[in-house]
Amino acid sequence: MSHSVLDSIAIGYQPFWNPDRQLAGVYLRVLCLDPDAVDAGHLMQVLGQDWPAAAPTLLLSIESPALRRQVLDCEPAQNTWLVCPADEFAEDEARFAFSLALQRGHRLLREAQIGQLGPDWNSPPECRTLVRVDEAGSQMLLQALDQGTPSPLMVAGQAYAGIASHRLAAHCLDTAGAWGLLGWPEEDVLRSIGSRAMDCDPAVIGQIMQAVQEDTSLEHLERLVRQDPVLVYRLLLMVNSAPFNTRREIGSIRHALMMLGFTALTAWLQEQRPA
C-alpha cells in the first residue's frame, strides 16, 4: 500500500473463520488519522491493486462516516465487502446511497449489536449482517442452546463476532449455518489455564534445536519459533531484559535470534522445556 495512504490511516485487523475452520476473510478496520488527507478513490484503488482475487475476503470497516460515504461512491475493490453500521440502514439518505453502491458492484455488510435485533430479525436481502454479541447476548444464546430451543437470533448465512465459547462457536458454524465467525473464542481456553503459567511446546523446541544443529537459515528458524506464541513471548522478554542492555526495544524475532546467537539459543531452549 502506498506511503501516502499509510501515513494518514491506522489499520487493525481480525481474522474471519468459515465453517471449515479455515481463514475465509480479514476484517480490516481503518481509522483516519487525518480524514481530510485520505482520498477515498485512492484508498480503494490501492486496495484493489494490493488485495489479490485469490486472497481471503476483505471486510473493510471505515470508522469515518464521511470517508465511508465517499467510498460508496467509488468503484469497488475486488473481493471486498464494505462494513456499514446498522443504524444507517434506517436512514433514507443512506439507504439511497447503499442502493447506488450496490448498482456499482459493492457488497455491503451491515454491522449490528445483538441488542439492536428483534426476535424475528433477518438481514436485508441486499446485504449480509455481522452480529456483534456481548456478554449478555452470549448468555442468552447459551441458555437457548441448553434448553434445546434454537435462538431466533442465530440466522443462517450471517456473520457473528464476540462468540465467547467453543461450544457456542460450534453451534453457530455447524448447526445454525452461520457464514463465519469474526475472531475465535478465548474464554474457554483462558478458564482452562487459570492462573498457572503456560508451558512452551516441547515439539517446537525440538524442531528448533534440530534446525540449529543442521545450520538452517535464519528465515527458517524464525518460522519455527513463530509456531509457539509462548516461546515468542519469552524470547522477546529475555532480549529486552536488563542483562542485554539494549538501547531500543527489540520487537522482531529475527533480530532477537541474531542477538542471541545459535549457541546461547540452544542453551536457552533447554531451559524452556517443560519440567
Query: Are 223 and 163 in a shared domain?
Result: no
Judge whether 197 lies within some domain. no
Query: Are 36 and 58 in a shared domain?
Result: yes
pLDDT in the model for residue 38: 83
Domain ends where: 163, 192, 221?
192
Query: Are 47 and 181 in a shared domain?
Result: yes
- CA dist., res. 193 & res. 195, Å (int): 6
Query: Are 169 and 241 in a shared domain?
Result: no
Query: Are 53 and 128 in a shared domain?
Result: yes
Query: Are 150 and 40 in a shared domain?
Result: yes
Judge whether 31 lies within some domain. yes
Query: Are 160 and 208 in a shared domain?
Result: no
DSSP state, residue 8: T
Question: Which structural domain range is residue 224 located in?
Answer: 202-272
Per-residue pLDDT of the chain (275 residues; tens, 9 = 90+): 545 677 788 899 999 999 999 999 999 999 988 877 788 888 888 887 777 778 899 999 999 999 999 999 999 988 999 999 999 999 999 999 999 999 999 999 999 999 999 877 888 888 999 999 998 998 999 999 999 887 888 999 999 999 989 999 999 999 999 999 999 887 777 676 666 778 899 999 999 999 999 999 999 999 999 999 999 999 999 999 888 888 888 889 999 999 999 999 999 999 999 87
Query: Are 12 and 113 in a shared domain?
Result: yes
Judge whether 17 lies within some domain. yes
Terminal Cα-to-Cα distance of the chain (whole angstroms): 46
Query: Are 79 and 206 in a shared domain?
Result: no
Closest to 164 in 3D by CA, of 141, 195, 194, 193: 141
pLDDT in the model for residue 193: 67
pLDDT in the model for residue 3: 52
| CA max distance for the chain | 67
Query: Are 86 and 36 in a shared domain?
Result: yes
Query: Are 187 and 65 in a shared domain?
Result: yes
Cβ contacts of residue 29 below 8 Å, gap of 6+? 11, 12, 13, 14, 61, 63
Q: What is the pTM of this model?
A: 0.73
The CATH number of the domain holding residue 109 is 3.20.20
